Amino acid sequence: MKNLRLVILLIVIASPTHLINANNNLQPLIDKVEPKVIKWRRHFHEHPELSNREFNTAKVIAKHLRSLGMEVQTGIAHTGVVAILKGGLPGKVVALRADIDALPVIETSKLPFASKVKSTYAGQDVGVMHACGHDAHIAILMGVAEVLSKVKDKIPGTVKFIFQPAEEGVPEGEEGGAEMMVKQGVLKSPDVDAIFGLHISSKTPVGTIGYRPGGIMASVDDFRIRVLGKQVHGSTPWNGVDPIVVSAQIINSLQTIVSRQMPLTKQAAVVTIGSIHGGVRSNIIPSEVEMIGTIRALDTQMRKDLHAKIRKIATHVAASMDATVEVTIPVASSYPVTYNTPKLVTQMLPTMERLAGENNVNLIDAVTGAEDFAFFAQEVPGFYFFLGGKSKGVSIKDAPSHHTPEFYIDESGMKLGVETLSNMALDYLKQ
């Protein structure tokens, strides 16, 4: 045993990566950058931009990365920014990703840096808000970039920083997001060996991390169903075909897919109708109704089955009432399951436990929310985890949910994000 320990010690001493010790000597740098991270987050929160329209956000990011002496590329997938930090020692390539877009939500918080931005989305005038925490993600990764740039001579390999637009979904008829970045070769030149990403959570306590090997977030497909009937006076419905009544029957029947036709002991699934439109007057039965919804699955075959069953139910329910339907799946958003490579999770778990404390790193259930980080993780080993952003003393019930006007995160949680991504990158490259 003594001989084995001596051999290990000699290997460590002989390796050039011993220049960065077990804790990577990053804490003073992280402490110093934390006020900047908070300042950046507040700037992005006050000046949010919608998907594929993150022009000013990208300019701020690129300016900072260039100030660190990095090789910076802009305009990737419209507004994406990518920077490369070449370490002073040879090694692998690790990528770190942050999403940068905001949502069409009117903010109701009383924060001094609350968003008052207005824009247009899907032909409607909307407010714009970072209602999901992407402002924190940008700021955290900018902080990581600054920290690692200060020790680049000791880094055994290369770090690629990916600031990705349009995670929330591209406008209809456009391309964008992680899928477009992959198509444009963001994981190439240099070729990425592994990628890490995080999502701050308003429902998870500050100072904690949630992770899961395998599928951690669901696939998503949006869908549209147009129900085509026959317009008629509202007083004589028997002379036409009422698409509103047909739509009601379709919606009710769609809810039986998950409750009665999916093997829920295997994985969760969701079918939700989020919007329905038809008609203009109380006494006119319209000729058509349009509904849109979302499909979530944590299993690839279940995802395929959900698509087939939605088409079948909509078609046959409509036919039974003398109507017809047009079913489109997907319309604009289609992400695969976000899959964490189990071996990579095992490899990085000691890093997270070292930083947050073993009791603060928790194995969590899969989430039916979706993430286009999944496209990166389809190409290379990936690890996506959740970072606590809920203030201590606030109950989970009272903590505002993501995608709501009241969304709020505790900025003190961002420091652990900088610590975790910085150390995970170094620890991966050292191994």
Same domain? 182 vs 327: no
Two tokens at 246?
């047909």
What per-residue confidence (pLDDT) applies to 273? 98
Q: Give yes or no: residues 74 and 201 share one domain.
A: yes
Ranges of beta strands (E only) in 107-154 are: 118-121, 124-127
Query: Catalytic: which of 54, 146, 288, 335?
Result: 335
- Give the pair of three-digit tokens for residue 3: 């001989």
User: Is 411 noted as a catalytic residue in this protein?
Assistant: yes
Same domain, 312 and 205: no
Mean pLDDT of the chain: 94
- 283 and 424 part of one domain: no
| Residue 224 and residue 83 share a domain | no
- The residue among 314, 334, 354 that closes a domain is 334
Domain-terminating residue out of 334, 350, 376: 334
Residue 387 sits at φ, ψ, to 5 deg, of -110, 135
**207 and 237 share one domain:** no
Q: Are residues 51 and 189 in the same domain?
A: yes
**Is there a single domain that holds both residue 374 and residue 231?**
no
* Mean local confidence (pLDDT), 383-399: 97
What pLDDT score was predicted for residue 333?
Answer: 86
Domains in the chain: how many in total? 2
Q: Are residues 289 and 330 in the same domain?
A: yes
- Interatomic CA distance for residues 371 and 23, integer angstroms: 31
* Residues pairing with 332 in the sheet: none
Cα 177 from Cα 166, distance rounded (Å): 5
Q: Quickly state the pLDDT bin for 20 (edges 50, 70, 90).
A: low
Q: CA-CA distances (angstroms) from residue 366 to 204, 295, 340, 343?
A: 14, 16, 11, 18
**334, 363, 397: which is the final residue of a domain?**
334
DSSP 8-state code for residue 19: G
Does the annotation count 335 as an active-site position?
yes
pLDDT digits (tens, 9 = 90+) for 405-422: 999 999 999 999 999 999
Would you say 407 and 1 are in contact if contact means Cβ atoms under 8 Å apart? no
**79 and 200 inside one domain:** yes
Measured distance CA(269)–CA(296) in Å, rounded = 5
Gap between the Cα atoms of 53 and 392, Å rounded: 35
Please give the average per-residue pLDDT across 63-75, as a whole number: 98
Which pLDDT value is given to residue 21? Answer: 55
Sorted by sequence, the CB contacts under 8 Å of residue 377 that are 6+ apart come out as 195, 338, 339, 340, 341, 384
Q: What is the DSSP code string of 314-377?
A: HHHHHHHTT-EEEEES-SS-EE--EEE-HHHHHHHHHHHHHHH-GGGEEE---EEEE-THHHHH
Q: Do residues 233 and 354 both lie within one domain?
A: no
Tell me the backbone φ, ψ of residue 133, rounded to 5 degrees: 95, 10
Residues 267-296: tens digit of each pLDDT: 999 999 999 999 999 999 999 999 999 999
CATH value at residue 134: 3.40.630.10
User: Looking at residue 325, which CATH number applies to its domain?
Assistant: 3.30.70.360
Per annotation, catalytic residue among 54, 107, 179, 411 = 411
Range of the structural domain that residue 353 is part of: 2-213+341-430
pLDDT above 80 (res 23): no
Give the whole-angstrom CA distance, residue 336 versus residue 215.
10
Of 256, 340, 338, 260, nearest to 296 by C-alpha is: 338
* Per-residue tokens: 223: 């869908």
